Amino acid sequence: METTLRGVGVSHGVAIGEVRHMGTAVLEPPAKQIPAQEAGREQGRARQAVDAVAADLTARGNLAGGEAQAVLEAQAMMAQDPELMADVDRRIAVGSTAERAVYDAFAAYRELLAGAGEYLAGRVADLDDVRNRIVARLLGVPMPGVPDSDHPYVLVARDLAPADTALLDPSLVLGFVTEEGGPTSHSAILARALGVPAVVALPGAVELGEGTVVAVDGSTGEVFVHPREERKAELTAAAAARRAALAASTGPGATADGHKVPLLANVGGPADVPAAVAAGAEGVGLFRTEFLFLDDSENAPSEEKQIAAYRQVLEAFPEGRVVVRVLDAGADKPLAFLTPADEPNPALGVRGLRTLLDHPDVLRTQLSALAKAAEGLPVHLEVMAPMVADRADARAFADACRAAGLRAKFGAMVEIPSAALRARSILQEVEFLSLGTNDLAQYTFAADRQVGAVSRLQDPWQPALLDLVALAAEAARAEGRSCGVCGEAASDPLLACVLTGLGVTSLSMGAASLPYVRATLAKFTLAQCERAAAAARAADSAEEARSAAQAVLSGE
């Protein structure tokens, strides 16, 4: 008998197949004592295992490339964290085995993260994965992970570590479903990059029986258990119709009546450029430069290294628009040479532009590198600051850009509610705005973007969030400036129409989402988008907002 479960759809498409579960978690090592004379040997074993896991994560990142590479390299640095390793050595010195010392040291650090505010608590899943890999290597047992199968399947897990998600084989993994996670978690972002249908935050997902047939709709978040043949046919037909519409949709982004909406790509570095170009991106709406800095958490990359990386991206879009976000360090992207290790709540502390203003030499070098990378190229370079709170922040950033001799437009990201509320004031100092809807939702609703339990408040359809988007867009229109969206909200085709109706002037997203958004925008006029936006803002919940917008655009 068919039953319907509902989670959060985070990656478009339909997957129909049998359930396969992730391997079981690593068992807790026994707590046995070792003689003092064996401590040196056990410390050596621990170091070898840690280094091997870090090397494996780095190698997986190199294979995956793009955003996945940066995420996995960050995990590799987590494995080799000096404080963690010092704690492991101390525990071995007083009698623990290598595996037990690793398990207990990571458990202590896990408690610190879990209690350090919702934002850092989102890193717990990544930490657990690193611990499991090290302990498994020390115990000599296989690392739990994606199941072996000769036949395509739907992968079900409590959560997926980035190392697993990054190297999923789309020819075997039809889609995935997780009980935890949220729409902006690492796994969700990587699923979209892979083009694998995915649903997260689905209550009871891990209780689905092995081999159970399910149909996963990554657009609506619905999972049909034991789907009827009619349901399978309906979903398959809808998926085929979407693929046909995608193939027929080419060219610049625009509504049915010709209102232009440039469709841009989010990239983390040169490795992401080919997919963006292949998907028809009109430029880059968000170049996340922090991934370049994550290569070495102890030192900033040299100006020469930055110039080379930036120029590769700029050269890929001649005559196009490339919007670069300067380093966004802090919170879930700590860098040892920049961010304090003892902040009680890093998400509300010194991060983003605040970090750069405290380290003007790092900002100066990055802006100088961008200026030199753009020399002689016809690209339209725009540079923006993350986590701008007010006009003073915007002025400080614009002054730094001018002092570095940067010939580009200067902009501000709207990720803090105060920036949306005072957008017109900020635009007295900078030339454009870009809405980071992931963080804007997080700070608006006090809901960590990595925690599945509060995922409903991270839903970009929340009317309060749409109100803030409208405020920023209205301010930009009044000042004759542009206001784009570069958060994950832009990757939802229906929401892209609503954002257009709110007055947003460009949309930036992962390359895999570009065809879906282009095809959907082309179906509706600007007036229809505006009516859908008004209906969504008049709703009282995210679900009602989506339904109201859908009703308007479907002519109901």
Q: Classify strands 263-267 and 506-509 as parallel, antiparallel or unpaired.
A: parallel
Q: Is 486 a catalytic residue?
A: yes
- Residue of 12, 359, 401, 486 marked active site: 486
Task: Say what the pLDDT of residue 47 is.
Answer: 93
- Residues pairing with 223 in the sheet: 5, 216
Q: Is 497 a catalytic residue?
A: no
Q: pLDDT at residue 34 above 50? A: yes
Using CA atoms, how far apart are residues 246 and 261, in angstroms rounded to an integer? 17
- Residue of 186, 401, 483, 497 marked active site: 186
| C-alpha gyration radius of the chain | 24
Task: Say what the pLDDT of residue 451 is.
Answer: 64
Q: Cβ(176)–Cβ(198) under 8 Å?
A: yes
Closest CA to 156 of 225, 110, 219: 225
Task: Say what the pLDDT of residue 333 is.
Answer: 64
DSSP-H helix ranges across 12-65? 39-64
Task: Say what the pLDDT of residue 423 is.
Answer: 98
Token look-up 């807790």 returns 28
For the full predicted model, state whether its pTM sits above 0.85: no
Tell me the per-residue pLDDT of 527-542, one tens digit each, with 9 for 90 and over: 999 999 999 999 999 9
The percent of residues above 90 in pLDDT, for the chain, comes to: 56
Task: Say what the pLDDT of residue 82 is.
Answer: 85
3-state class of 404 per DSSP? coil
Q: What is the dihedral of CA 138, 140, 141, 146, to 10 degrees?
A: 70
C-beta neighbour count of 143 within 10 angstroms: 17
Secondary structure (DSSP) of 233-288:
HHHHHHHHHHHHHHHH--SS-B-TT--B--EEEEESSGGGHHHHHHTT-SEEEEEE
Task: Say what the pLDDT of residue 54 is.
Answer: 87
Task: Say what the pLDDT of residue 118 is.
Answer: 44
Token look-up 């986590």 returns 387
The helix or strand, by DSSP H or E, that contains position 216, with its residue range, turns out to be strand 213-217
Using CA atoms, how far apart are residues 59 and 53, in angstroms rounded to an integer? 10
